[in-house]
């Protein structure tokens, strides 16, 4: 990841297609420093775990009260009392620890996690996040730990498709979906490109199967190159 962090110019990989979900997960894994404490939320971001180097010393947190979470449990290893935030059975690694919910969320809210990876409905150019509610009037609201994760980690990465099914960009000028957290996302990984977002607006770090100029045609936000 050192190379990525010290990256000075936007890299355009136009000679290939967009990233697959696994390749997105791999790209995120590559950007997580060895020794980091990481929360992978639920759903797609949990794929990142498959791409973490076992020797990296990266420790996974699950907000239901555990550090040192191991892979999903199978067969006899399944213990219904050992589950992740998505309530799937998991395993424990040597050096793990258990704690109660107030301590677990104090750990998150207190900024002790290095990285949190979340899915999203929308991310704004300044890093506002919408990922908990579609706003549909008949939906039963359910927030879980989404708002806590959004404001808690030192760096919040979003993993999402760049465009919704109707073709609209999920990277937006201002959120139209209900807010999860304001100015909390630092980086957005999509199949077409990786973006930094925040007070300075949107910067394209790399593209996959497209170019910055081509993206500009399709996105409702101004984007810059790293070298701009």
Return the active site residues.
63
Q: How far is the CB of 85 from another protein (least distance, A)?
A: 8
Q: Which residues contact 136 (CB under 8 A, 6 or more apart)?
A: none
Burial label for 142, CB within 10 Å (0-12, 13-18, 19+), is exposed
Burial label for 78, CB within 10 Å (0-12, 13-18, 19+), is middle
Q: Kindly report the CA angle at 117 between 37 and 123, in degrees rounded to 5? A: 145
d(CA 130, CA 118): 10
d(CA 66, CA 165): 35
Q: How far is the CB of 208 from another protein (least distance, A)?
A: 32
Q: How far is the CB of 43 from another protein (least distance, A)?
A: 13
Judged by beta carbon, residue 109 or residue 224, the one nearer another protein is: 109
Q: How far is the CB of 91 from another protein (least distance, A)?
A: 10
d(CA 86, CA 82): 11
d(CA 25, CA 79): 27
Q: How far is the CB of 155 from another protein (least distance, A)?
A: 15
174 close to 207: Cβ distance less than 8 angstroms: no
Burial label for 189, CB within 10 Å (0-12, 13-18, 19+), is buried
Judged by beta carbon, residue 99 or residue 200, the one nearer another protein is: 99
Neighbours of 64 (CB within 10 A): 17
Judged by beta carbon, residue 86 or residue 209, the one nearer another protein is: 86
What residues line the site for another protein (CB under 8 A)? 37, 59, 61-68, 79-83, 87, 92-102, 104-113, 133, 138-148, 151-152, 178-182
Judged by beta carbon, residue 18 or residue 68, the one nearer another protein is: 68
């Amino acid at each position: 990841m050192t190379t990525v962090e010290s990256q000075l110019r936007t890299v355009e990989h136009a000679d290939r297609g967009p990233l697959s979900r696994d390749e997105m997960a791999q790209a995120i894994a590559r950007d997580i420093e060895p020794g980091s404490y990481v929360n992978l939320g639920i759903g797609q971001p949990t794929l990142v775990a498959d791409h973490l180097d076992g020797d990296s010393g990266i420790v996974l947190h699950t907000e239901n009260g555990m550090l040192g979470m191991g892979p999903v449990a199978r067969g006899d290893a399944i213990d219904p009392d050992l589950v992740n935030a998505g309530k799937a059975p998991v395993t424990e690694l040597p050096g793990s620890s258990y704690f109660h919910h107030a301590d677990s969320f104090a750990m998150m809210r207190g900024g002790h996690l290095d990285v949190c990876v979340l899915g999203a409905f929308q991310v704004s150019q300044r890093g506002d996040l919408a990922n908990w509610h579609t706003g549909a009037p008949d939906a039963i609201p359910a927030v879980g730990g989404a708002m806590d994760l959004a404001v808690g980690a030192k760096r919040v990465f979003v993993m999402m498709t760049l465009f919704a099914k109707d073709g609209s960009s999920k990277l937006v000028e201002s959120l139209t979906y209900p807010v999860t957290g304001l100015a909390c996302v630092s980086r957005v990984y999509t199949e077409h490109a990786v973006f930094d977002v925040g007070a300075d607006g949107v910067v394209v770090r790399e593209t996959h199967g497209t170019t910055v100029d081509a993206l500009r045609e399709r996105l409702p936000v101004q984007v810059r190159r790293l070298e701009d």
